[in-house]
Amino acid sequence: LHVAIIMDGNGRWATRRGLPRVAGHRAGVAAVRRVVESAADLGVATLTLFAFSSDNWRRPPEEVGALMSLLQTGLRDELQKFIDGGARLSVIGRRDRLPRGLQQAIAEAEATTAQTSAAGHRLHLRIALDYSARDAIVQAAASWEAGAPPSRERFEHHLRQVLGSGEDRSDVDLLIRTGGELRLSDFLLWECAYAELWFTDKMWPEFGADDLRAALAEFHRRERRFGGVPPPPLALAASGGRGGA
Ligand code: IPE
Ligand code: IPE
Ligand code: MG
């Protein structure tokens, strides 16, 4: 199961409390920890977290700087826990505009947890950083081999190369957005083609394992049809009235 989360609302959470926005980002790190720690037990195999969008560079430099250093210390401090918990970590998005120290922390975290994954990891945690779905799609198109016939599988291969995310299945099953906004903000546009969407008014620092559990419970109640028709009632299926699955 692949769950992706747009972790929104840190700034508003802080502002409402009379705190600087950066305090909201700090509280957001604690929410990340809660969610990552509970994800595997709730049946999540891949968890993709939107941590910084390519449009977030538009924010005041002090806020951007604070986010970058929170990401860097977060990666360093949590690394041992990822390893102990059997998680594999990768970062999707552009690397070249990130501060050098953060680039190194990413490389280290990926290299160290790639080894744990050899023994079969419990969770693949993907952090989207300086990520733009449209940019990724354009890059994947630009890396197309001249003359190669178009195909979805080949395109997805290129997309994963561009994102540096390995060869895991990339389709999102459940997309969660906190913070009350009902939009995608350029996150995983290709991968969310058939994702189930789940929104909450809770701000990201308020989000916890129970909220993830609630989102997953609703996900499992939904009927995914992928353009087909609903499955036949059980009695009909058992009588052999229809062939196929
Ligand atoms: C999400 O919270 C975190 C990032 C975008 C890095 P915001 O910082 O967008 O919080 P709001 O939406 O302003 O409340
Ligand atoms: C999306 O949130 C990006 C992240 C959560 C990292 P934004 O707060 O940047 O999105 P908009 O600006 O409200 O669309
Ligand atoms: Mg926001």
Encode pLDDT of 115-152 as tens digits.
765 556 789 999 999 999 999 999 999 999 988 899 99
Residue 177 pLDDT > 50, yes or no? yes
At residue 240, the pLDDT reads 54
Please give the Cα distance from 46 to 172 (Å, whole number).
Answer: 9
Residue 243 pLDDT > 60, yes or no? no
Evaluate: CB of 59 within 6 angstroms of ligand 2: no
Please give the Cα distance from 31 to 7 (Å, whole number).
Answer: 9
More confident site: 80 or 4: 4
10: annotated active-site residue: no
Sort strands 174-177 and 2-6 into parallel, antiparallel or unpaired: parallel
Half-sphere exposure (CA, 13 Å, Cβ side) for 207?
Answer: 34
Position in ligand 1 atom list of the atom nearest CA 53: 5
- Mean pLDDT of all residues belonging to the chain: 92
At residue 238, the pLDDT reads 60
**C-alpha angle 183/47/64, rounded to 5°?**
60
Residues with CB under 5 A from ligand 3 (ion): 8
Confidence class of residue 245 from pLDDT cuts 50, 70 and 90? very low
**C-alpha angle 203/206/207, rounded to 5°?**
90
Evaluate: CB of 50 within 6 angstroms of ligand 2: yes
Instruction: Provide, rounded to the nearest whole percent, the portion of the chain with pLDDT above 90.
Output: 79
Catalytic residue from among 10, 41, 55, 56: 56
Confidence class of residue 37 from pLDDT cuts 50, 70 and 90? very high
Encode pLDDT of 202-242 as tens digits.
999 999 999 999 999 999 999 999 999 988 887 766 655 55
CA of 21 to the centre of ligand 1 (A): 8
Ligand 1, CB cutoff 6 Å, lining residues? 7-12, 52, 56, 67, 179, 204
Which of 53, 126, 130, 131 to mutate to test ligand 2, by most ligand atoms within 8 A of the CB atom?
Answer: 53
**C-beta of residue 200 within 8 angstroms of C-beta of residue 218:** no
* Cα distances (Å, whole numbers) of residue 6 to 164, 183, 197, 242: 20, 10, 11, 41
Position in ligand 2 atom list of the atom nearest CA 52: 6
Confidence class of residue 244 from pLDDT cuts 50, 70 and 90? very low
